[in-house]
Amino acid sequence: MKLKDADIQELNDFFEEGLSRAQKLEKHQKINFRKKIRNELYFLLGWELATPVGVMNRWEERLSDVLKVMPSGFRDDLARRLIDVLRSPLLRKKKPNPLPAANDPR
């Protein structure tokens, strides 16, 4: 399934959160890591039949230095997010609507 801009932004935000929690990273390292992450995420926009396993294999190879510095459990959470993002839109988890509908008796 092809990813949309919103999916890429969600993954970028997740990586950014991981980088902010990563310890002992200098500013120039974070800048270089952000560039690598951004390049890989934009590559996904053109990947028509991306699968979670294929994407993770690619990232294990190309982003190995980034993934090494991420907090514990980051890879597992990333894999779960990829599965959710690459799932059919009909099967995705619906985000709860914070506002009730106008005719909702709540």
What pLDDT sits at residue 86? 85
Alpha helices in the chain (DSSP H): 5-21, 27-45, 52-62, 64-69, 74-85
Residue 103 lies in a domain: no
Residue 60 lies in a domain: yes
Phi, psi of 93 (to 5 degrees): -70, 130
Residue 43 lies in a domain: yes
Number of domain units in the chain = 1
**CB 10, CB 85: distance < 8 Å:** yes
**CB 33, CB 66: distance < 8 Å:** yes
Per residue in 34-93, pLDDT (tens digit) is 999 999 999 988 888 888 999 999 999 999 999 999 998 999 999 999 999 888 665 555
For the entire predicted model, the pTM comes to: 0.77
Length of the chain: 106
What pLDDT sits at residue 37? 97
Per residue in 3-25, pLDDT (tens digit) is 788 889 999 999 999 999 988 88
Domain span including residue 40: 5-85
What pLDDT sits at residue 75? 95
95 pLDDT tier (thresholds 50, 70, 90): low
